[in-house]
């Protein structure tokens, strides 16, 4: 916060002069940089802008033209306001000077009683310096808070909560699809803060830098580095824009740094806790001969081919329990991280039987297999594939046995990429205009697109399933085509829109 002209006039040292504003009401909220006493006619060379200029009128008393010229100079140099102490020697400000001030929106204030200008300048300067020191102190508190949270490896939720505490208003972290990742409500219930969130958020455009926008005047800042934003912070009900901006930008930095550190933590776990499997994933085993020898040393029988397999649970189950349940599998079993267990098994192992035995012990568990490979080193790629399949499988209906890539197909691929900013950007590029229109006006065009794609673009079938007659259907399709910006009769357009809509629908289901 800074001192404004209005606040300066209200200071006791100036208020004692019975101030009256003669012009420039709209300029009273201008921020002051300093206060300066001027009693000469050539004032332009003395000032640099944003000053509160105090005078007894000596430099204005020669003529109405002299007063007008002084106001002209103050306007041109960018002074914040002129305060004139009236007296018997200078009883009023000439109308010519006031006319110029009003045209420029420049505040001219007269004092009807004498004041000590030294007291005024001292009070103004003390207030300005105090505000500046307070801002420095606040900036230091913000820096210290997020530095300490960063060193403590605080989770995203704690960082957002800290931002809300510092800003004194609600803060929401959302991803590029407008899904709320972390809400921190202040002065209102969380359910009220998040009411109809996606629609409201879509009316507030994404900005490349911190700024205010949208019908609710939200302050937003992107989260990510080097143009690779993966989300944004939204500050609602902003009371102090400068402080909110500082907090939001510092919180965004802390969130991105924490995300980068989390990735590093996973890499450390891969090196330390996964043993041989993690060395395979990190390509640190060495040659195929060395890998085969080490595998034999670990008791895994030689095989013409191997398969990478990953187990995980739909619920919060310690990996130790999954490892224990898989202990009898004829292969190598080890924890990959806090949620995944990796297996390296010969290709002839009946993985469907292993999966059924696992779910008999841990009903929420899922077993997923990668592709069979020849040799030991290629198992790394099979493990990566299996981990992706497992991550998708826990979001899909259960299957009887081991899950493979063929079981998840395109929906599985998109589900596995749902947190990827590139997929979110693709969905927004394809559907953003349509979704914004739906947020503003409704009308069911998103459902119409979903039905249109489901029937492969067959308008006759669409009319039947949508329960519309052709008279109303064709204008709706033309409007839909305008909003998505692509011809609906083009198979490539339908494919892109179908993929984008599937990704959008999956995000809504999470």
Distances (CA, A) of 472 to 438, 448, 450, 451, 501: 18, 12, 17, 15, 23
Q: Is the pLDDT of residue 361 over 60?
A: yes
pLDDT confidence of residue 273: 31
Give the strand pairing for 81-85 and 108-111: parallel
Sheet holding 306-313, edge to edge: 332-335, 341-346, 306-313, 365-369
Q: Percent of the chain scored above 70 by pLDDT?
A: 95
φ, ψ for residue 311, nearest 5 deg = -115, 140
SS3 335: strand
Give domain limits for the chain.
5-125, 153-264, 273-409, 421-509
pLDDT confidence of residue 267: 35
Q: Percent of the chain scored above 90 by pLDDT?
A: 39
Q: What angle separates helix 445-454 from helix 491-509, to the nearest 10 degrees?
A: 120
pLDDT by residue (tens digit) across 370-392? Answer: 999 999 999 999 999 999 889 88
- Among 190-194, 210-214, 283-287, 297-301, name the one with the lowest average pLDDT: 297-301
The number of residues making up the chain comes to: 510
To the question of pTM greater than 0.85 for the whole model, the response is: no
CATH fold group of domain 153-264: Beta-Lactamase (3.30.450)
Give the confidence band of 268 by pLDDT, cuts at 50, 70, 90.
very low
DSSP E strands, 26-133: 34-37, 51-55, 81-85, 108-111
Question: Which residues fall within 8 angstroms of residue 33, CB to CB, at 6 or more apart?
Answer: 49, 50, 51, 80, 128
Query: Other CB atoms closer than 10 Å to residue 440's CB: what's the count?
Result: 12
Q: Is the pLDDT of residue 272 over 50?
A: no
Q: Which class does domain 5-125 fall in?
A: alpha beta
Q: Is the pLDDT of residue 154 over 90?
A: no
Work out the mean pLDDT of the chain and round it to a whole number: 86
> How far apart (Å, rounded) are the C-alpha atoms in residues 46 and 59?
14
| Mean pLDDT of the 202-228 span | 89
* Degrees to nearest 5, angle at CA 110 with 106 and 115: 130
pLDDT confidence of residue 324: 83
Domain 273-409 sits in CATH 3.40.50: no
pLDDT confidence of residue 227: 62
| Mean pLDDT of the 466-485 span | 88
pLDDT confidence of residue 234: 96
Which among 253, 165, 161 has a CA at the least distance from the CA of 210? 253
| Mean pLDDT of the 78-98 span | 91
Helix, strand, coil percent content, the chain, rounded in steps of 5? 55, 15, 35
For 189, half-sphere exposure in the C-beta direction (CA atoms, 13 angstrom radius) is 3
Which among 122, 129, 98 has a CA at the least distance from the CA of 37? 122
| Mean pLDDT of the 339-353 span | 93
Give the confidence band of 270 by pLDDT, cuts at 50, 70, 90.
very low
Q: Residues 308, 374: contact at Cβ < 8 Å?
A: no
Give the confidence band of 323 by pLDDT, cuts at 50, 70, 90.
confident
| Mean pLDDT of the 223-240 span | 85
């Amino acid at each position: 916060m800074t001192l404004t002209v209005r606040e300066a006039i209200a200071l006791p040292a100036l208020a004692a002069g019975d101030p009256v504003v003669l012009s420039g009401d709209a300029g009273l909220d201008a921020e002051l940089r300093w206060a300066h006493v001027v009693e000469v006619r050539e004032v332009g060379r003395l000032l640099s802008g944003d000053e509160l200029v105090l005078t007894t009128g000596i430099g204005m008393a020669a003529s109405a033209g002299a007063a007008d010229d002084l106001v002209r100079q103050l306007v041109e140099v960018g002074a914040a306001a002129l305060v004139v102490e009236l007296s018997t020697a200078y009883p009023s400000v000439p109308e010519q000077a006031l006319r110029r001030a009003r045209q420029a929106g420049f505040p001219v204030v007269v004092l009807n009683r004498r004041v000590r200008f030294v007291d005024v300048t001292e009070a103004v300067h003390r207030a300005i310096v105090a505000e500046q020191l307070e801002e420095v102190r606040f900036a230091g508190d913000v820096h210290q808070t997020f530095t300490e949270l960063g060193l403590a490896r605080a989770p995203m939720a704690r960082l957002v909560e800290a931002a809300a505490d510092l800003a004194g208003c609600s803060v929401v972290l959302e991803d590029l699809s407008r899904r709320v990742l972390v809400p921190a409500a202040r002065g209102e219930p969380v359910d009220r803060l998040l009411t109809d969130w996606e629609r409201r958020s879509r009316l507030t455009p994404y900005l490349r830098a911190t700024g205010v926008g949208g019908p609710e005047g939200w302050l937003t800042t992107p989260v990510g580095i080097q143009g690779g934003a993966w989300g944004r912070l939204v500050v609602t009900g902003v009371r102090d824009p400068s402080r909110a901006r500082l907090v939001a930008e510092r919180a965004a930095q802390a969130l991105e740094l924490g995300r980068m550190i989390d990735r590093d933590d996973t890499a450390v776990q891969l090196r330390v806790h996964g043993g041989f499997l993690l060395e395979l994933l990190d390509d640190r085993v060495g040659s195929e001969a060395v890998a085969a020898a080490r595998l034999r040393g670990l008791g895994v029988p030689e095989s013409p081919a191997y398969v990478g397999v990953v187990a995980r649970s739909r619920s919060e189950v310690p990996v130790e329990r999954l490892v224990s349940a898989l202990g009898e599998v004829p292969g190598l079993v080890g924890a990959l991280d806090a949620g995944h267990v990796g297996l390296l098994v010969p290709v002839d192992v009946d993985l469907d039987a292993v999966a059924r035995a696992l779910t008999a012990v841990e009903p929420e568990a899922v077993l997923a297999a990668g592709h069979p490979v020849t040799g030991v080193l290629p198992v790394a790629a099979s493990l990566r594939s299996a981990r992706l399949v497992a991550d998708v499988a826990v979001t899909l209906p259960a299957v009887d046995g081991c899950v493979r890539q063929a079981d998840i197909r395109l929906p599985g691929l998109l589900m596995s990429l749902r947190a990827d900013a590139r997929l979110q950007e693709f969905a927004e590029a394809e559907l953003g205009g349509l979704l914004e229109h739906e947020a503003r006006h409704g009308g069911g065009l998103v459902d119409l697109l979903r039905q249109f794609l489901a029937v492969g673009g067959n308008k006759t079938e669409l009319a039947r399933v949508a329960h519309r007659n052709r008279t109303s259907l064709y204008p709706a399709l033309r409007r839909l085509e305008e909003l998505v910006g692509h011809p609906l009769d083009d198979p490539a357009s339908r494919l892109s829109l179908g993929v984008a809509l599937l990704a959008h629908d999956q995000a809504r289901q999470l």
